[in-house]
Amino acid sequence: MSIPVRMVERLSGYRRHLRRWLAEGRDRIYSHQLGSLVGATPAQVRRDLMTIGFTGSPARGYDVGGLVGKIGTLLDAPERNSMVLVGLGYLGRALLKYLTGTHPELPIVAAFDIAPQKIGRIIDGCRCYASSEIQSVVRQEPVLIGIIAVPAEAAQEVADLLVRAGVRGLLNFSPTRLQVPPGVHVEDVDISISLEKVAFFARSKNRRLETQA
């Protein structure tokens, strides 16, 4: 079964909120409740759960634990996967701290930078190597994903190194369209675009409200 992109996003969102729901001690949820948690319509939620083959009961809703598990079988790797991070500027360090705290199942096993004062040190629990060592370090264990948190000028070069080292996915924080061979997935997190989006919609909503008045 093939899952559309937007649905992967929603499933990921569902799971995060379901875990909180569980943590609050509630083990059942209705589609409209889950919908309002993540900002989706009840119909959308039901459709998604139907698509992944998870069924609930009209009387009691969906079993939260079971659903978290089901989403896990779809989104998580059967085997343990790991990541490497390239670029230990402020962004890189923010990612390192955030991801080691919240995503233990996708550990960052090595970091890379070009600044001599960082190389060889252990930063936030993660060993930092020279970027030139990407090949040799990554090949020692199966690394699924490379995170690119370097300036735009260096991004393509880093991507090439990572791909050559065998990485299968790139999470790219630089504002560059990376050139990669088929079989490697690139996910862009483009802050400039997000920024221009908020600015645009903040203003246009504004205008709409004013003209209503």
Partner DNA sequence: TCATGTGAACCGGTTCACAGCC
Partner DNA sequence: GGCTGTGAACCGGTTCACATGA
Q: How far is the CB of 112 from a second copy (least distance, A)?
A: 17
Query: Can you give the binding site for a second copy, defined by CB under 8 A?
Result: 3, 5, 8-9, 12-13, 16-17, 37-39, 74-77, 81, 89-91, 93-95, 97-99, 102-103, 106, 144-145, 168-171, 175, 177, 182-185, 187, 189-203, 205-206, 209
Q: What are 90's two structure tokens?
A: 């402020």
- DSSP three-state, residue 148: strand
Q: Distance (Å, rounded) from C-alpha 12 to C-alpha 117?
A: 37
- DSSP three-state, residue 143: strand
Of 28 and 168, the one with the shorter C-beta distance to a second copy is 168
User: Which range binds DNA by CB under 7 A, 28-36, 92-100, 115-123, 172-180?
Assistant: 28-36
62 contributes a contact to DNA by CB under 7 A? yes
72: nearest Cα among 57, 48, 98, 52 = 52
Q: Distance (Å, rounded) from C-alpha 137 to C-alpha 209?
A: 55
Of 37 and 114, the one with the shorter C-beta distance to a second copy is 37
User: Which range binds DNA by CB under 7 A, 38-46, 120-128, 132-140, 143-151?
Assistant: 38-46
Count CB atoms within 10 A of the CB of residue 92: 26
Q: Distance (Å, rounded) from C-alpha 134 to C-alpha 132?
A: 6
**What does 19 interact with, of a second copy, DNA, none (CB < 5 to 8 A by kind)?**
none
Of 36 and 100, the one with the shorter C-beta distance to DNA is 36
Residue 27: phi and psi, rounded to 5, are -115, 10
Q: Distance (Å, rounded) from C-alpha 172 to C-alpha 175?
A: 8
Pick one of 18, 40, 126, 178: the residue that binds DNA (CB under 7 A): 40
Which residues of the shown chain bind DNA in the complex (CB under 7 A)?
A: 4, 6-7, 30-32, 40-44, 46-47, 49-50, 55-59, 61-62
